[in-house]
Amino acid sequence: MLPRGRPRALGAAALLLLLLLVGFFLFGRDLEYGRLRGSASLDGELTWDHNRSACVPLRSLQPKCELLHVAIVCAGYNSSRDVITLVKSMLFYRKNPLHLHLVTDDVARNILETLFHTWMVPAVRVSFYNANEFQSQVSWIPNTHYSGLYGLLKLVLPDALPPDLVRVIVLDTDITFASDIAELWAFFAHFSDKQMIGLVENQSNWYLGNLWKNHRPWPALGRGFNTGVILLRLDRLREAGWEQMWKATAQRLLLTLSTTSLADQDIFNAVIKEHPGLVLLLPCIWNVQLSDHTLAEHCYSEASDLKVIHWNSPRKLRVKNKHVQFFRNLYLTFLEYDGNLLRTELFGCPSQPPPRAEQLQQALAQLDEEDACFEFQQQWLTVHRVHLTFLPLDPLPSEAHDVTLVAQLSMDRLQMLEALCSHWPGPMSLALYLTDAETQQFLRFVEASTVLSARSNVAYHVVYREGPLYPVNHLRNVALAQALTSYVFLSDIDFLPAYSLYGYLRASIKQLDLGSQRKVALVVPAFESLHYRLSFPTSKAELLALLDAGSLYTFRYDVWPRGHAPTDYARWREARAPYRVQWAADYEPYVVVPRECPRYDSRFVGFGWNKVAHIVELDAQEYEFLVLPEAFTIHMPHAPSLDISRFRSSPAYRDCLQALKDEFHQDLSRRYGAAALKYLTALQQSRSSA
């Protein structure tokens, strides 16, 4: 097992050569599509066994660290979730740098651009292409497939992708990898001079044209090909005039056939029927098709044969298949896989680190692991993956005075969502701090809730968990940045606003004639219920009655009165009109502000002082605080969160919080100069009185 110099190396080279020759002799020629025509394929008696034996590893033939290109068409909210599971499975097995070419609509682009930017996977480059630009090239084709117009866009890839891009693997979003994509890429080496499209045969009987009476599929060779996985030689397609080729075929066929049923797949097959020499047949294990009643199970004889699974049934995971449990578990593995674990360096292949990654690595490396506040510093520097608008969103056109409720939560507050929806009919932008597996629980929770499923103006932004402390202010900033209205109500998830608040706020903004130029923070007075079965007050009068009866309290009256004292509850009781109040130390009211308000300081992680710092910032920027006389919001009781109980009792935790406050005030002085002096003085006073 030890090197003995040259003779050994020569031996290895000889082995490679032998493999190459023998491999080519055995398989190379069969891969030519021409041979298939005279064979068993067309009379329906396929024996799939030999497809397997073609899978001798071919990696060794490829240059190590070769950049592989993958193109995916992706549109809308749901496909954007699907594509992430596909990408996770691909990244789990890949050993090469990848370049993803994503043809997207605006929705998918917004989601995926943010996702990849924050995912920071080394040795993965992502380029976006605007689907709208190419739609006109396919929109004239009548199509009844569930993928809609977007399925057809695969036809325009030779035109849409950069002219110097030669090879690309094209994938549907409902694909799951069970192997290294480089093994698939290796089939490019098997293309003859004339071949330009690599495809797996279709595993359903669709193109045989006998599924029902008068079933008239588009023309195809035998059972046709499936376009869920395609290898494209873009250079050759361009040279051969692909665009003219498929357009001419489609136009001619549409004279007799009314629509395509299977989108791009019908057209690919029709072109191939006319030009069979274009195609290299790929082994069927590279696109095991799980539509109902397919021949897929003849394609593999053991789990280790499977390379790529294609969930091409409209029933998706509920498809009937002999081995569906196996396939489903593979899919669930990646659906729930912690994407953070895919951030590992591809250490055999040198690659440029993703933007920001290098500075971050350096900053993290400079932290002192022995520092008592190490966890705080590390958490602050952590870049969380962000999946914006995890669920479909369909907001109404925003009015000038509209207000979005902004809040953040983790799994243990999910049960607040229904009540919150019943109290706030307006738009919401919520950041959820979840693991990949928890996103699926969240999804099922929303699907099971008629209240939540009915809402189309609630945006859920998933921030993926990483690190021991709750990044409360980063979450707030994510939700705040996604608000689509001119005003935002900065709330917390355990508060239920007055039923009337949404309407009242819009009316107040209009009435007060707040231009977006005016720096105003409207204060919504906060109360708390210690009873968990509260009959919620429907008016200010009812609220005051409950307050007098001792069923409600002003918020944190007993443990943290400074937080809301400046709101002046006594004055509010009598007030008929908005009144101005002055900032004081530790003030942290719930406010309505223009969307362009300052962001939260994201170094405050875990619990404590996170809202206080934001209110200081508002005051430093000379926002007026105006208390609204009819507005109120009530904190609902709950058990302390895991995060809070883990740290509340720790003196080290409080010391770190103090250090954060000090840093914050130093920054404040730098930015606002002498004007910031009052905050420091207030802090010192509060510290000496404590």
* Pairing relationship of beta strands 98-104 and 124-130 according to DSSP bridges: parallel
In order, the DSSP letters of 651-690 are HHHHHHHHHHHHHHHHHHHHHHGGGGHHHHHHHHHHHHH-
343 touches its own copies by CB under 8 A: yes
Interaxial angle between packed helices 357-366 and 374-381, expressed in degrees from 0 to 180 and rounded to the nearest 10: 180
CB nearer to its own copies: pick between 244 and 450: 450
Q: Is 30 in the site for its own copies (CB under 8 A)?
A: yes
Q: Contacts with its own copies in 621-640 (CB under 8 A)?
A: 636-640
Stretch that binds its own copies, among 52-60, 472-480, 572-580, 675-683 (CB under 8 A): 52-60
In angstroms, rounded to a whole number, what is the distance separating the alpha carbons of residues 557 and 386? Answer: 36
Read off the tokens for 397.
């056109």
Angstrom distance (rounded) from CA 267 to CA 152: 9
Residues 155-184 that bind its own copies (CB under 8 A): 180
655 part of the interface to its own copies, by CB under 8 A: no
What count of Cα atoms within 13 Å lies in the side-chain half-sphere of residue 497? Answer: 32
Among 67, 400, 507, 530, contact with its own copies (rule: CB under 8 A): 530
Query: Contact with its own copies (CB under 8 A): which of 24, 77, 128, 337?
Result: 337
Interaction with its own copies in 455-494: which residues (CB under 8 A)? 468
Q: Which of 444, 510, 571, 580 binds its own copies (CB under 8 A)?
A: 444
Taken as a whole, the chain contains a residue count of 690
The single residue among 338, 542, 624, 667 that binds its own copies, judged by CB under 8 A, is 338
Pick the stretch among 28-36, 75-83, 165-173, 514-522 that binds its own copies (CB under 8 A): 28-36
Do 496 and 536 contact (CB within 8 A), yes or no? yes
| Shortest distance in whole angstroms from residue 336 CB to its own copies | 6
202 binds its own copies (CB under 8 A): no
| Window contacting its own copies (CB under 8 A); options: 216-224, 230-238, 318-326, 495-503 | 318-326
Comparison of 128 and 326: residue with beta carbon closer to its own copies: 326
- Does residue 37 interact with its own copies by CB under 8 A? no
Give the nearest distance from C-beta 53 to its own copies in angstroms.
6
For β-strands 495-497 and 124-130, DSSP reports them as unpaired
Q: Where does this chain touch its own copies (CB under 8 A) — which range of 101-109, 138-146, 262-270, 406-414?
A: 406-414
CA-based nearest residue to 537, from 568, 506, 500 = 500
Please state, in angstroms and rounded to a whole number, the distance separating the CA atoms of residues 497 and 404: 13
Q: Can you tell me whether residue 231 is helix, strand or coil?
A: strand
Euclidean distance between CA atoms 268 and 117, whole angstroms: 34
Stretch that binds its own copies, among 24-32, 111-119, 143-151, 228-236 (CB under 8 A): 24-32
- Pick between residue 25 and residue 212 the one whose CB is nearest to its own copies: 25
Asked if 171 contacts 159 with a C-beta cutoff of 8 angstroms, the reply is: no
Site for its own copies in 278-297 (CB under 8 A): 281-283
**Count of CB atoms situated within 10 Å of the CB of 536:** 17
CB atoms within 10 A of CB 541: 9
Judged by beta carbon, residue 350 or residue 392, the one nearer its own copies is 350
Range in contact with its own copies (rule: CB under 8 A) among 35-43, 165-173, 263-271, 399-407? 35-43
- SS3 category, 511: helix
Least separation in angstroms between CB 589 and its own copies: 23
35 part of the interface to its own copies, by CB under 8 A: yes
Strands 308-310 and 279-282, bridge-based pairing: unpaired
Taking the C-alpha atoms of residue 322 and residue 331, their distance in angstroms, rounded to an integer, is 16
12 near its own copies, judged by CB under 8 A: yes
- Judged by CB under 8 A, the stretch of 53-61, 97-105, 483-491, 516-524 that binds its own copies is 53-61
Which CB atom, from 21 or from 677, has the smaller least distance to its own copies?
21
Judged by CB under 8 A, which stretch of 76-84, 132-140, 303-311, 625-633 contacts its own copies?
Answer: 303-311
User: Using CA atoms, how far apart are residues 226 and 404, in angstroms rounded to an integer?
Assistant: 45
Q: Which is nearer to its own copies, 563 or 629 (CB)?
A: 563
Find the binder of its own copies among 412, 548, 596, 655 (CB under 8 A).
Answer: 412
C-beta of 134: minimal distance to its own copies in Å?
Answer: 33
Inter-helix orientation angle 651-672/374-381, to 10°: 50
* 67 lines the binding site for its own copies (CB under 8 A): no
Q: Give the residue ranges of DSSP H helices in 66-202.
A: 76-93, 106-119, 131-135, 148-152, 157-160, 181-185
Q: From CA 460, how far away is CA 393, in angstroms rounded?
A: 9
Between 101 and 423, CB nearer to its own copies? 423
Let me know: does 468 contact 375? Beta carbons within 8 Å: yes
The only residue of 44, 56, 422, 681 in contact with its own copies, by rule CB under 8 A: 56
Selected range binding its own copies among 125-133, 151-159, 411-419, 567-575, rule: CB under 8 A:
411-419
Among 189, 211, 248, 303, binds its own copies (CB under 8 A): 303
Which residues within the stretch 105-144 sit at the binding site for its own copies (CB under 8 A)?
Answer: none
Q: Which is nearer to its own copies, 64 or 293 (CB)?
A: 64
Residues of 670-679 as b/e, b for ≥16 C-beta within 10 angstroms?
eebeeebebb
Residues 551-570 binding its own copies (CB under 8 A) are none
- Report whether 683 contacts 668 (CB < 8 A): no
Half-sphere exposure of 261 (CA within 13 A, CB side): 9
273 and 301 Cβ atoms separated by less than 8 Å: no
| Segment lying near its own copies (by CB under 8 A), choices 204-212, 527-535, 540-548, 613-621 | 527-535
Contacts of 518 (CB under 8 A, 6+ apart): 624
**Cβ 289 to its own copies shortest distance, Å:** 16
Ramachandran class of 5: left when φ > 0, alpha when ψ lies in -120 to 50, beta otherwise: left
Question: Which listed residue (110, 127, 205, 449) binds its own copies by CB under 8 A?
Answer: 449
Of the residues 162, 276, 348, 515, which one makes contact with its own copies according to CB under 8 A = 348
d(CA 50, CA 27): 10
414-443: contacts with its own copies (CB under 8 A): 414-416, 418, 435, 437, 441
